[in-house]
Amino acid sequence: MIHYRNIHKAFDLPVLAGVDLQVETGEMFAVFGPSGTGKSVLLKTTIGLITPDRGDVEIDGASVFFGGKGALQAARHSVGFVFQNAALFDSLNVFDNVGMGIPEDELARLKRPEVARRVGRVLELVNLDPSEVMGKIPSELSGGMKKRVGIARAIVGRPKILLWDEPTTGLDPINAAAVERLITRLSQELEVTSILVTHDVEGGLDMCDRVAMLDGGRLRFCGTPAEFRTFPDRVVRAFVDRAAAEAALDVATEFND
């Protein structure tokens, strides 16, 4: 279980103002909200990429921020993070990029053919042909392929939790739908807890067991997709309507292109 306890974070202005949230083990959970409401910031606090000004995150009862450096490292080993733009290392090829996802001490014990087998297996899991992509550097890959390599890097370390930061942003509707199917399949096959930050409200509602909405740095809603669809709060309704309009515009633009 992941427990966000009273998370506060301000940069120039407050971004998160006391967020309390629990995500159960094995659950697939989506976080929605308008731009700038701190969704990605909340996700990044999970493994200390951003340190909250106040509050704490607990993973299976262990504090991430007050459990010492060992606790932070342990949290990072148990979590796979899929970044918005994949964040692949420019100077490394796909093999080395994905290999980086294997914990350092484990990687030191493995021989190169074993690493290659493991990297090849996760590349196949994300529907990429290892023989085709392993030697390529990120600049030689398409946007969709980069996302898949980023996902492969996140899962190669066999994490218990997967964090997805806007995994479909920047993809065309066909690729976005393929990545959404991949997220659902991987979360089920790998039996992991998934937290998904997304603008794609309909996609998130279809995929997830529970959803939450952030607004003004606070939790506006937390419940099942069915409850979200009928939640009467005007801010939630306005957000859903706007998101639906934007999604329709994206599809129309893609169709015209």
Partner 1 sequence: MPNVIAPLAAWFAGFGRGTQLTLAHAGSLGRLFWQICRVTVQLKVSFRDVANQFYIMGIQSLPIVLVTGALAGIVTSQQGGYQMTSIVPRYVIGSLVVETVVLEMGPVLTAIVLVGRVGARITAELGTMVVSEQIDAYHSLGRDPVALLAAPRVLAGVIVLPLLVGIANFIGIIAGMVTAYLDVGLGYESFLYGARLFWHSWDLLYSLSKAMIFGLAIPLISVHMGLLTRGGAEGVGRTTTQAVMFMTLTILILDALFPPLMLQ
Residues near partner 1 (CB under 8 A) are 44, 47-49, 73, 76-77, 79, 81, 83-85, 87-90, 100-101, 103-104, 153, 157
Which of residues 101 and 203 has its CB atom nearest to partner 1 in the complex? 101
Which of residues 120 and 150 has its CB atom nearest to partner 1 in the complex? 150
CB of 149 to partner 1, least distance (A): 12
CB of 97 to partner 1, least distance (A): 9
Which of residues 14 and 103 has its CB atom nearest to partner 1 in the complex? 103
CB of 222 to partner 1, least distance (A): 25
H or E stretch at 22: strand 14-23
Q: Hey, what are 189's tokens?
A: 């096959």
Torsion angles phi and psi, residue 149, rounded to 5: -65, -40
CB of 190 to partner 1, least distance (A): 17
Which of residues 66 and 89 has its CB atom nearest to partner 1 in the complex? 89
Which of residues 76 and 148 has its CB atom nearest to partner 1 in the complex? 76
Task: Give every CB contact of residue 29 below 8 A, 6+ residues apart in sequence.
Answer: 23, 193, 194, 195, 196, 208, 209, 210, 211, 212
CB of 124 to partner 1, least distance (A): 21
**Checking phi first, is residue 52 left (phi over 0); if not, alpha (psi -120 to 50) or beta?**
beta
Q: 106 near 64, Cβ under 8 Å?
A: no
DSSP code at position 257: -
